[in-house]
Structure 1
């Protein structure tokens, strides 16, 4: 019995110390609890990640995109105002009289179908192509 007692004591102490070293589950943050309750996975729910990095950063792109949208809308309005015969297209003379120098100077490049007139979609496609070409250089 003397030999069994130290072995049991060692086993009990070993299991007690092992339980003390086992990491406990951390208490989730309020954001993680709310997301978990809603069934949403949060990319940064670990409490070791700094708070500033727990929420995904917002995209900065809407500024320039909104600016381009506004510019395109203004150009479309000028295009429609220049369309004196309300055909939905401009010929070279209408573009020149309206002061749309971009359309006038690049008319042949915009009018890829060689119809003698350009629609706003033709102009928009030309501008997108030019922007892509200038971005790739």
Structure 2
């Protein structure tokens, strides 16, 4: 009986308890702030350009605002719809965005205008 309790005590003593992690190890920064962003999109932007993820998020927000402003669900905005929705950028540049002079701006027209403006700004 004494041998059994000694063996038990020795076996218990050999089990190592987990050691607490030191504070600096817990505070170290992760490799990337958001590990769910694909590695290809983690690269730093070149020449101060916004990251692809930021561009995507911005475009999605703009698309949602555009769709919300399209009260008649026609797929395009009139100058009045842009004004009523508070889309001042679209209203101000309406004639430049509406290159076909239809009196309606589609989201594709708006994207093309934004890309064109971005390219012009980069070429300066």
Report if TM-score (shorter chain) is over 0.5.
Answer: yes
1:52-63 paired onto structure 2 within 5 Å: 59-61=43-45
Give the TM-score of the pair, scaled to structure 2: 0.61
Return the TM-score normalized by structure 1: 0.56
Aligned length: 80
Structure 2 residue aligned with 1:41: none
2:50 paired with 1:69 = no
Question: Mind listing any 5+ residue stretches in structure 1 that lack a counterpart?
Answer: 1-57
Higher relative contact order (CA 8 A, sep 6+): 2
| Cα displacement string for residues 65-101 of structure 1 (whole angstroms, at most 9, x for unaligned residues) | 1000000000000000000000000000000000001
2:119 aligned with 1:132, yes or no? yes
Match of 1:36 in 2: none
1:134 Cα deviation (Å)? 0.5
**Structure richer in helix, relative to its length:** 1
Matches within 5 A, 1:1-137: 59-61=43-45, 64-137=51-124
Q: If you compute each CA radius of gyration, which structure gives the higher value, 1 or 2?
A: 1
The alignment yields a C-alpha RMSD, in angstroms, of 1.7
